Amino acid sequence: MGRLFNWLGRQPRRCGCALALALACLASTVAAAPPAGYDLVWSDEFDGDEIDPRNWTRFRDDNGFQAGFDRTDATSIGNGQLTIAAYSDLRGLHYTGSLITRERESFHYGYFETRIRFRGEAGLNQAFWVQSPTMPIVNGNVPGYPDIYGTEIDVVEHRAYDGSSAYIGDVASHGLHWDGYAADHKSSGGLSPAIFGDLNNSWHTYALEWTPAGYKYFVDGVLTRNTTVAVSARDHHVILSNAIFPAGNWTPGPPPGGYGPLEDGTYGMDVDYVRVYANPQYEVTRADQIVSLNFVGNGAGANQVASAYGVSDESSVTDGWLNLNTSVGVVGGVFAQDDLTYSDGRRSPVDVSVNLPYATEQFSDQANGTPMKMGLVDYVSSPNSVEVTLTELDHAYESGYKVIAYLTGYAPNTGASISAGATTYYFQTPDPATSDLLQTTDTDPLDGIPEANFAVFGTDFDPLFDSSLTLTLDTLDFVGGHAPALGGLQIVPAKRLFGDFNRDGLITALDIDLLTGGLGRSNPEFNLNNFTDAVVDDEDRRLWLNYAAGTTFGDANLDGTVDQADLQILADHLQGFAHGWAGADFNGDNVTDQADLDVAEANWDPSGPLTFEEAALAVGLTLLGDFNHDGQVDGADLLKWQRDGLGTGKLGAWQASYGVSAAAHNATSVPEPASLAAIALLSVGTLLYCKLPTRQPRM
């Protein structure tokens, strides 16, 4: 969906009568099948009653975009479809919405298909498109490299009217944009033939086949454009948008009367599904996005990296190493190389420069089991340390990365350090050489420097996000004349798990406690439904429970059901402060009390062997009858029971707990059942005699 309005002129919509008739017969509003060899790898069928936060986040913040504002209430799900509405208010302001798979899913090559019913009007530019995260960057992208910075690929853009107010609702626009949206912006576009009937207010399928060779566009299974222009070779996000454009040569702007109120639902776009298919022939995996560098000199054995090397615990890459000859033959030489390749041979945006403080063929002894024996040697006598600087890492690894540094050297040496700025690790090359790859995590040089072959900066769950990173190799003072070396490195994309806020690779109560700590704020990390609202609230906690943990409120041990085990946890922590979710503080008020018991009751699993009341009494929850949450089970609770119509089951709970206070809930003896029954009957009789008004139950 382009930001510039004059990139595509209106194309002739003529074709031979015979061809038009044949294509019209092929056109269909039913789902079109992907080409042979493609398998479904991701989809959203919109069959639920809410937008799946594992799939989508808001594309734009709630600020003005073009002639309209992006609003959270414009996107909704119902009747098996997603709706992105366009509406106006009484002030004449216009609103719409958009969704993106950013931070959820990204795709590299494939067949992208959707089924949409556009309900267009003047000013609306409705679209299904894919885009790389770096394509829109104005400063930082080098023009002319859409393969490494990505492209905006408009699978379909639909307008009811063009800038001259001519009706064009019967054609689809297929566009490409690259080199950003500023002075270097470039574009290419085309229109589908007008053979599918009116695309406005009717269901049609729209698809894109993206391969290393180019792009093919389809409407209802009919090929409508085939181009090899600006082919991207990097990950893209999927976007659904319903933008409102001002008057210009792209649209005539919003109609004078606007789009009507949201409840009218007249204008917008309805999406039946979005599906992504992959062909193994073009499949690009996370492992393929690793850059592997081997620093070598001109000496014998310089290209010694074998395909079997790689740290199995840190990455799945076992080949694709790039041998970089760093011998420059002069003191203070600098070696640099741009656009390093990924493991599958594609260019990446990453650049590298190496600062060598002295001249030699950087040769070092090989330790068995290490990926390389050549390296960048740092002698203690050298005036400066060896520095390796990587840049444009944020362009290559939007979701973060980690760097593995492979350590070699003249063994034995008595100590060296490898630093990435914020973290410094210490090591010495194993002597004698070992067949095992050993990692150093030692950050204290006084601890006794461990033997090691590699160091890792960043992790999958606490990745690095800096646009540049400098690794510094330094030799500690020693006797013997031996020196360490940096043999090579790998840049590995980080893996993220939905809902893993503490990035430990697990979904635990610690994650929902972090989310709870963000309640009331506009923290985007915890705002899982930012397509619905702008703040972190209990709805985000529900989404985390439903979609990350696969459970619901009241499940203290996160085992998928609310049962007696959870009530036992609640009983063990009753009136305890700051226990968090694992201590049965379900409402996040830093205390486990009757309110949390109410949460557990509301979500109790009825299929279990015990009723809620039976299980609660079995674990000693003596405050079960504290209906007004004042810490006492007394006549005031019975009054609330009668007024709120809490039912006979609740009356039994009150009877069992009568006379108990929160301070002594485990020590206070429970009155005999006969006495409780008498009290209950007397109290109920008194209440009925007084004919107190009955109120509706409160949630």
Helix (H) or strand (E) holding 657: helix 648-657
Cα 343 to its chain centre, rounded Å, is 24
Of 237, 255, 265, the C-alpha closest to 96 is: 265
The tokens describing 197, both together, are: 């009937």
Summary count for the chain: helices (H), strands (E): 11, 31
State the Cα–Cα distance between residues 648 and 263, nearest whole angstrom: 42
Strands in 279-395 per DSSP E: 291-296, 322-325, 334-337, 351-355, 376-377, 386-391
CA distance 445 to 336: 31
Give the model's pLDDT for residue 294: 82
Angle in degrees, 0-180, between the axes of helices 648-657 and 673-690, rounded to the nearest 10: 130
Report the pLDDT value the prediction gives residue 306, as an integer from 0 to 100. Answer: 44
> Residues 543, 547, 551, 555: is their CA dihedral positive or negative?
negative
In sequence order, which residues have a C-beta less than 8 Å from that of residue 447 and are 6 or more positions away? Answer: 426
Element (DSSP H or E) covering residue 513 = helix 509-517
Task: Give the pLDDT score at 321.
Answer: 76
Measured between alpha carbons, how far is 156 from 339 in angstroms, rounded to an integer?
Answer: 31
Nearest CA to 149 out of 132, 163, 162, 164 is that of 132
List strands edge to edge, sheet with 334-337: 334-337, 351-355, 386-391, 469-475, 416-419, 424-427
| pLDDT for the residue numbered 362 | 54
> By C-alpha distance, which of 222, 263, 290 is closest to 492?
290
CATH of domain 38-278: 2.60.120.200
CA dist 169 and 20 (Å) reads 18
* Distance between CA atoms of residues 558 and 507, nearest Å: 9
pLDDT at 649: 60
Separation CA 119–CA 200 (nearest Å): 6
Contact 294, 321 (CB under 8 A): yes
Angle between helices 635-644 and 673-690 (to 10 degrees): 50
Q: What are phi and psi of 666, to 5 degrees?
A: -95, -10
Distance CA 476, CA 425 (A): 12
Domain borders along the chain are 38-278, 286-493, 509-690
| Residue 63 to residue 347: CA distance in whole angstroms | 36
Q: Convert the pLDDT of each residue in 237-282 to its tens digit.
A: 999 999 999 999 899 999 999 999 999 999 999 999 999 999 999 9
Give me the pLDDT at residue 434, please.
66
pLDDT digits 0-9 by tens, 176-201: 999 999 899 999 998 999 999 999 99
Going by DSSP bridges, is the β-strand pair 291-296/322-325 parallel, antiparallel, or unpaired? parallel
Token pair for residue 30?
């039913």
Is there a contact between 198 and 181 (Cβ–Cβ < 8 Å)? Answer: no
State the pLDDT at residue 365.
56
b/e map of 445-476 (b: 16 or more CB within 10 Å)?
Answer: eeeebbbbbbbbbbbbbebbebeebebbbbbe
Q: Which long-range contacts (CB under 8 A, 24 or more apart) does 510-513 make?
A: 510/580, 511/544, 511/548, 512/541, 512/544, 512/545, 512/549, 512/581, 513/580, 513/581, 513/582
Residue type, 109: Y
The DSSP secondary-structure symbol of 47 reads: -
> CB atoms < 10 A from the CB of 329, how many?
10
Q: Are 670 and 679 in contact (CB under 8 A)?
A: no
**DSSP 3-state of 438:** coil
Strands 439-440, 454-457: pairing is: parallel
Bridge partners of 470?
Answer: 389
Q: Take residue 546 and report the two structure tokens written for it.
A: 């439903």
Q: What is the per-residue pLDDT for 629?
A: 66
Cβ 354 vs Cβ 335: under 8 Å: yes
The span from the CA of 428 to the CA of 484, in Å, is 7
Residues of the chain with pLDDT under 50: 1-29, 299-309, 312-318, 479, 662-699
- How many other CB atoms are found less than 10 A from the CB of residue 330? 10
